[in-house]
């Protein structure tokens, strides 16, 4: 995280989490933290590394997931992204870790789908084969109720393979594990598919906005990708990296 301006950026962090404590017991709640990022400054490594522990104060042996919001008067002055690390080999920690990056999004980002925002977001070219696990994360980013429809579209024929709709409370985050046949997924069977497009669009009249992302994991190598659903068309205008 970097402050791209010449003035201090007051920030308020909110982490809505759920998961397990080190002893296996359920762990859920909301953690907050406040800091001021100095002019042209970046978040220190002491706070950025394993930030849910070092900055948000969760126990080091806990295992949690959830959305993290950045609020405060300085939120318009910063750029932020998260790096998620996993073991190269689940059976041998000595082989080290590898990471995937995920940038931050707001209710005004073009990737945020809503009735008065982007009408549809899409990711084309997903594959369904044995050994590849695909999960989907949907998060409400405006602090309002929302409702969306997710569709799987056959990239060869254009036909809809399956669809589901879901309503969201303000700031709610949902993860659909195994979108093809998981409990909250599409139940399309065991057949393999190539070039499947996933679309996300608003339904109903709720004013909230949803960002969708896919995590694609190779069960054999544990390699992973994070793929964000985006509006169709050419890329948006350029941006400055810090």
* Domain termination residue (choose one: 79, 100, 135): 79
Which tens digit of pLDDT belongs to each residue from 117-131?
A: 999 999 998 888 888
C-alpha to C-alpha distance for 139 and 175, rounded to whole angstroms: 9
Question: Is 240 domain-assigned?
Answer: no
Identify whether 148 is part of a domain: yes
Quickly count: other Cβ atoms within 10 Å of residue 182's Cβ: 16
Cα 216 versus chain centre, distance = 12
Residues 152 and 216 reside in one and the same domain: yes
* The two structure tokens encoding residue 58: 């969760």
Kindly list the distances between the CA atom of residue 171 and the CA atoms of 68, 90, 112, 128, in Å, as whole numbers in the listed order. 10, 32, 13, 30
CB of 98 closer than 8 Å to CB of 223: yes
**Alpha helices, DSSP H, located in the chain:** 45-48, 51-54
The enclosing domain of 161 has a CATH number of 2.60.290.11
Does 239 map to a domain? no
Report which DSSP code applies to 121: E
Domain boundary among 50, 79, 108: 79
Same domain, 171 and 221: yes
Cα Rg of the chain, angstroms: 19
Residue 120: name the closest of 108, 131, 112 by CA: 112
72-89 tens-digit pLDDT: 999 999 999 888 777 777
User: By residue range, what is the domain housing residue 203?
Assistant: 121-228
pLDDT digits (tens, 9 = 90+) for 10-27: 999 999 999 999 999 999
In a domain, 64, yes or no: yes
pTM for the whole structure: 0.84
Q: Which of 54, 79, 104 finishes a domain?
A: 79
Q: Say whether both 166 and 72 belong to one domain.
A: no
150 & 65 share domain:
no
Q: Is residue 238 domain-resident? A: no
| 163 membership: H or E segment, kind and range | strand 160-168
Question: Contact, 168 vs 114, CB < 8 A?
Answer: no
241 found inside a domain? no
Number of domains present in the structure of the chain: 2
Which residue is it, tokens 């896919």? 214
Q: Are 213 and 227 in contact (CB under 8 A)?
A: yes
- Give the Cα-Cα-Cα angle 66, 224, 84 (nearest 5 degrees): 40
Q: Looking at the domain assignment, is residue 170 inside a domain?
A: yes
- Report the pLDDT value the prediction gives residue 242, as an integer from 0 to 100: 38
**Alpha-carbon gap, residue 240 to 237, rounded angstroms:** 10
Do 125 and 69 share a structural domain? Answer: no
| Residue 110 within a domain | no
**DSSP symbol at 38:** P
Over the chain, what is the mean pLDDT?
Answer: 89
Interatomic CA distance for residues 113 and 118, integer angstroms: 5
Tell me the pLDDT tens digit for each residue of 24-48: 999 999 999 999 999 999 999 999 9
């Amino acid at each position: 995280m970097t402050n791209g301006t010449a003035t201090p950026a007051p920030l308020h962090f909110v982490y809505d989490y759920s998961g397990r404590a080190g002893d296996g017991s359920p762990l859920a709640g909301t953690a907050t933290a406040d800091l001021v990022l100095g002019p042209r400054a970046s978040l220190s490594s002491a706070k950025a590394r394993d930030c849910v522990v070092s900055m948000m104060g969760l126990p080091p042996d806990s295992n949690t997931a959830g959305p993290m919001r950045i609020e405060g008067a300085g939120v318009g002055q910063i750029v932020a992204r998260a790096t998620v690390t996993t073991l190269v080999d689940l059976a041998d920690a000595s082989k080290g870790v590898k990471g995937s990056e995920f940038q931050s999004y707001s209710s005004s980002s073009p990737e945020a789908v809503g009735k008065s925002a982007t009408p549809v977001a899409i990711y084309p070219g997903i594959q369904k084969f044995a050994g590849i696990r695909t999960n989907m994360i949907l998060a409400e980013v405006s602090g309002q109720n929302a409702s969306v429809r997710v569709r799987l579209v056959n990239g060869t024929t254009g036909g809809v393979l399956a669809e589901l709709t879901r309503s969201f409370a303000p700031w709610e985050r949902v993860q659909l594990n195994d979108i093809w046949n998981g409990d909250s997924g599409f139940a399309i069977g065991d057949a393999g598919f190539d070039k499947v497009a996933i679309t996300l669009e608003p339904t109903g009249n709720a004013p909230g906005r949803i960002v969708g992302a896919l995590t694609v994991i190779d069960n054999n190598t544990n390699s992973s990708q994070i793929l964000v659903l985006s509006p169709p068309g050419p890329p948006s205008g350029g941006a400055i990296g810090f």
